[in-house]
Chain A
Amino acid sequence: MTLYLVLLLPFVGALGAGLLRATARNVEAWLAGVVALSCAGILATYYPDMAAGRVVQVAVDWLPQYGLTFGLRLDGYAWMFAMLVTVIGALVVVYARYYMSPADPVPRFFSFLLAFMGSMLGVVLSGNLIQLVMFWELTSFTSFVLIAYWYHRTDARAGARMALTVTAAGGMCLLAGVLMMGHIAGSYDLDRVLAAADTIRAHALYPWLLTLVLLGAFTKSAQFPFHFWLPRAMAAPTPVSSYLHSATMVKAGVFLLARLWPILSGTDLWFAIVCSAGLASLLVGAYAATFQRDMKGVLAYSTISHLGLITLLLGMNSTLALVAAVFHMLNHATFKASLFMAAGIVDHETGTRDLKRLGGLYHAMPITATLAMVAAAAMAGVPLLNGFLSKEMFFAETIFAGEALWLRILLPATAILAGMFSVAYSARFIRQVFFGTAPGELPRTPHEPTRWMLLPSATLVLLCLLVGMLPGRTIGPVLDLATRAILNGERMPVYSLKVWHGLNMPLLMSAAAFIGGLAIHAWLTRLGHPEGVLTPLFRRFDGKRAFSILQVRLTRGATRLVNGISSTRLQTQLALIVVAVIAAASVATLGQLKVDLMTELAQIDPAFALLWVVGAACAIGAALQAKFHRLAALIMVGCAGLVTSLTFAWFSAPDLALTQVSVEVVTTVLLLLGLRWMPKRLAMELRNRDTMRARVRRVRDATLAIVAGLGMAMLAYVVLTQPAGPGIRDFIVKNALPGGGGHNIVNVILVDFRGFDTFGEITVLGIVALTIYKLLRRFRPAPEVMTSSAQKRDPARELPDPRDPVPKGVMLVPAIIGRLLLPMAGVVSVFFLLRGHNAPGGGFVGGLVMATGFIAQYLVNGTLWVESRLRIHPQYWIAGGLLCAAGAGCLAWFASLPFMSAIVWEPKLPLLGKLHLSSVLVFDLGVYLLVVGTTTLMLIALAHQSLRSHRRPAEAEEMTSVRMVR
């Protein structure tokens, strides 16, 4: 279980560091350092297990229904990598403590860094493939935030975006590949997938899954042609480059290739793809590194090249090459991290990383220079250093890798060529920074940095030396147990980690690379390291350019597509919707229509027909008048609503009729209140009413409307003339009384059968009311309605005085009647509420009636008069209603029943006899309260706008005077 700590500690640390104050400077560094070292310490205690070849596994259920566990699996290889991550992590933390400027938000940096460490450990220790991909994506994300750490810089943002796009897209491919692998193996568990290696390689999907997995690995490890993101990621702070973009994260790709090596390798396809990608990256990286101006640029391309070397080794399908690859992963991490640190020190102390401006720093900072020289020598492959050993192994492998003759020539030749460039850029890196003289003034006077900044770099260089001189004693056992773990029981190759193997072919190749590299360096120095002379060769293959072009094309294409198939204009959008609906409905309706006109005509009830003559006339009238005669149109729509309500009553739906009538009242009041805020519109104002376009549009819309109406009528008729299916009505009708305890089936459905639905619905009502309230608080009325209308300026028509007991003037009689109305409305509403369960009525209707009573007060007495006497506080009604309804639902829990079950209590009381009390009444009371609150909140908020515009002119004047004083 302590293994979980290794994964957990970094994330906990990240959270802790993130919570620290931005000015804390030492605490977070200590925190990060302690976390990294404790993880390394815990891992170190597992060494005996690893040395004995055991695999430590822990797992808890994650998604058991998919057979997924959240498991950690520590074997030799994972152990080696986890140690690499934590040890270099600890060194980077020390380095970063002195590198980062106090002006930066350092806790954030350490928080991200620790989160990355955790993610990387997650990748390394994952026991199943899905979990691995999850942590893989997390490393992409943490890398993104770390590259964009100085987010005020454009290059940092662009670099971070590019890195995320490339690596996360690769991660998606990897996920697809892993899913296929799991599908074939029948499990995502690493052990079971490893066991199914032969099945996977023989499966028809193997080429696909291999390609997808390789896409994931190559994007992560910056392999050609996806290498372009890595140089742009150098915009990150140098500790990040040193940690993520050389030592650990970019190694995740090759880590995975090695991890899956027993499963995927061994085929010609593997050899072809992996080797060519590795070879191309090796060469392109080394070549491009030679021509960089930026110190970090040189190191970034060199990283691409070295990762290419590892990839190439992994592609060779030989166990010996695998050993070399693992060995080089370690070696590269040590010397490259230390070189990045040196580059950071130079940048930190001189203020520039430009190779053209630097020079002669050996005298100012001899220790840094010495450390950088040793590390660069390791990078170039100088004997007695660790880079030499793995490079020798690499050279040896190239000779024997291919069977075809051209491969046996091509591979060693390319290896020597890449080796030459590697020597050339290493030599240049050292010579131009530390020797010669600087061409001009440096931004800062250079001097040796603090010892603590040198310590991490020195530690790594010491490791380079130790491994280089005593490989068998130092790295030998670790390499052995790591490779053994990868091979998973396969026969280990025989190799010897000696410095001197005698005079053999690889040594000759090394010598050739050295001489050639120094020659290239001398030649380029004589030319003054021209830029853009040879690199144009590569501009055509520049992945960054392809990436940008792709990005721009995609964006443009998407914009064009959106413009092509949609419109920003509401009318067009709505017309499209209507057309689509008509098309869909006509498929269902056409050919089903049979009208027997004679029997239909005989059945017609003249009263009903007359009712609908009125209804149709109102609807059509409203449609025609809505533009210029809003009030008339509104009245006609109200009329149409009444006709609808009567229709409901006609066809046995008294509840609907009641609700429709009460809603009609409040809707009309609402729209009346809104009318005030519309602009004036007179028919003669519009000169262009009869232009050609307008006429065409009207004809189009009329056609659409008629087609829609006809279609709807047809659809309704087709349905109505067919017998109804069985549905669930039998069940509901049978259970309404015994189960729901109510005689009014509609109400029983609302508060009992579908109580949860109603609960959601009243919540929506409350939200809408609050939204309206909030929207109106920020409301800015149109300028011309700010001034009072002609009617309001009429001196005979005064606003009611709030102090009067009854309003004077024309409103006297309505006010008296309205006041008598309120208690009656209250009684009626409660009556509807209480009887709702057994007869037409219920919470909705009751609430609307009560709200109407309140609104009538506002209408006849005026807002000021009412509010000086009666504060309704609709918010409390809404809250109370929701609590009531939810409480009624929760009551069921006390009877160990599910939420919203009805609880019935039938006590026998003296005098009153047997009572029927049910929790649904409480629920309906909630509905009632909420409907009252919602309706009054909306309408009062609207009514208050008129008050505001009264006050506005005065306030506006005040504002202007204040501004003028200022």
Chain B
Amino acid sequence: MELIYSLAVGIFCACGVWLLLRPRTFQVILGLALLSYATNLFIFAMGRLTLDRPPLIDPNVVPDASMFDDPIPQALVLTAIVIGFATTALFLVMLIASRGFTGTDHVDGVEKDE
């Protein structure tokens, strides 16, 4: 389990970094999306992986930390997902605006002659 999970995080991260280093804005946005999946998965995994133990308390049983998956990384990742959406939207608008102002979708706003 842990091996696959780690490889999954690694693959997302690699694809994200690759796209992040591309010259076109849309590639960078997708790269950031992939990178944020990798990061969220990574942070989530800081509570270790547990099966079938969602952090929902049964009122008839006295709760104990070992009965649940660690809820703290979950809470952190939940807000991270939503903020990630907001930043993606902001980047998208920046992309569109920059394209409108400079006439190119290159990340530096100028097309390089090579």
Contact = CB atoms under 8 A, between A and B. Distances in A.
Given A663-B81, A708-B13, A761-B83, A720 B65 contact: no
Nearest to B89: A938
A782 B21 CA distance: 24
A170 B11 CA distance: 57
Given A578-B20, A705-B15, A750-B75, A637 B30 contact: yes
A78 to B, nearest CB: 57
A787 interface: no
A688 B53 CA distance: 54
Contacts of A612: 4, 7-8
B30 A653 contact: no
Contacts of B20: 574, 578
A655 B81 CA distance: 11
A701 B88 contact: no
A188 B39 CA distance: 51
Interface in A97-143: none
Interface of A: 568-571, 574-575, 578, 595, 600, 603-605, 608-609, 612, 615-616, 619-620, 622-623, 626-627, 630, 633-634, 637, 640-641, 644, 647-648, 650-656, 659-660, 663, 666-667, 670-671, 674, 677-679, 681, 688, 691, 693-694, 701-702, 704-706, 708-717, 719-721, 723-724, 727-730, 732-734, 736-737, 743-746, 749-750, 754, 757-758, 761, 764-765, 768-769, 771-772, 775-776, 778-783, 838-840, 844, 931, 934-935, 938, 942, 945
B51 A651 contact: yes
13 contacts: A578-B20, A620-B15, A633-B30, A663-B84, A693-B114, A713-B11, A714-B6, A720-B2, A733-B55, A736-B57, A749-B71, A764-B86, A942-B93
A704 B17 contact: yes
Interface residues of B, number: 92
Contacts of B21: 571, 574-575, 578, 701, 704-705
Contact of B85 (A637, A663, A678, A743): A663
A622 B13 contact: no
Given A667-B88, A679-B104, A688-B114, A782 B56 contact: no
A844 B59 CA distance: 25
- Max chain B C-beta neighbours (<10 A), residue from A568, A569, A652, A781: A652
A838 B59 CA distance: 10
Nearest to A694: B114
Contacts of A659: 78, 81-82
Given A743-B59, A844-B78, A648 B44 contact: yes
Contacts, number: 319
Nearest to A838: B56
A716 B54 contact: no
A623 B9 CA distance: 15
Given A616-B11, A626-B19, A729 B72 contact: yes
Contacts of A640: 12, 34, 37
B103 to A, nearest CB: 6
Given A674-B95, A702-B18, A771 B10 contact: no
Contacts of B9: 712-713, 716
Contacts of A679: 99, 104-105
B99 A678 contact: yes
Given A670-B88, A671-B92, A733-B68, A623 B49 contact: no
B21 to A, nearest CB: 4
B83 A764 contact: yes
Interface in B1-47: 1-24, 26-31, 33-34, 37-38, 40-42, 44-47
Contacts of A681: 24
Interface residue SS majority, chain B:
helix
Contacts of B101: 780
A568 B88 contact: no
Which are the 3 A-B pairs with shortest beta-carbon distances? A709-B14, A713-B10, A705-B18
A630 B94 CA distance: 18
Q: Is the interface of A mostly helix, strand, loop or mixed?
A: helix
B56 A840 contact: yes
Given A612-B7, A709-B17, A737-B59, A765 B72 contact: no
A352 to B, nearest CB: 52
B3 A600 contact: yes
Contacts of B50: 651-652
A641 B29 contact: no
B68 A644 contact: no
A616 B8 contact: yes
B30 A634 contact: yes
Contact of B107 (A571, A702, A839): A571
A477 to B, nearest CB: 72
Given A651-B51, A701-B21, A764-B86, A749 B72 contact: yes
B64 A655 contact: no
Interface string B88-114: 111011111101110111011000001
Contacts of A578: 17, 20-21
Given A678-B99, A733-B71, A750 B79 contact: yes
Given A743-B56, A758-B79, A721 B2 contact: yes
Contacts of B44: 648, 651, 653, 656
A653 B107 contact: no
B75 A754 contact: yes
B87 A768 contact: yes
B10 A710 contact: yes
B48 A604 contact: no
Contacts of B47: 724, 729
A719 B31 CA distance: 25
Contacts of A717: 2-3, 6
Contacts of A711: 10
Contacts of A743: 56-59
B17 A651 contact: no
Contacts of B3: 595, 600, 604, 717
B56 to A, nearest CB: 6
A678 B26 contact: yes
A619 B12 contact: yes
Nearest to B54: A652
Nearest to A570: B107
Contacts of B54: 652-654, 840
Contacts of A783: 103
A650 B4 CA distance: 13
B93 A775 contact: yes
Given A626-B27, A724-B70, A652 B96 contact: no
Given A694-B114, A724-B47, A663 B82 contact: yes
A746 B78 contact: yes
Given A626-B30, A704-B21, A745-B68, 16 more contacts: A569-B107, A626-B26, A627-B24, A679-B105, A705-B21, A709-B15, A716-B10, A727-B72, A729-B65, A734-B65, A737-B63, A743-B57, A745-B71, A776-B93, A781-B100, A942-B93
A472 B109 CA distance: 78
Contacts of A754: 75
A647 B41 contact: yes
Contacts of A715: 42
Contacts of B84: 663
A724 B34 contact: no
Nearest to A718: B6
Contacts of B104: 679
A712 B68 contact: no
B55 A619 contact: no
B90 A772 contact: yes
Given A677-B96, A744-B56, A769 B37 contact: no
A619 B15 contact: yes
A720 B8 CA distance: 13
A775 B97 contact: yes
Contacts of B38: 712
Contacts of A723: 48
B47 to A, nearest CB: 7
B71 A729 contact: yes
Contacts of A570: 28, 107-108
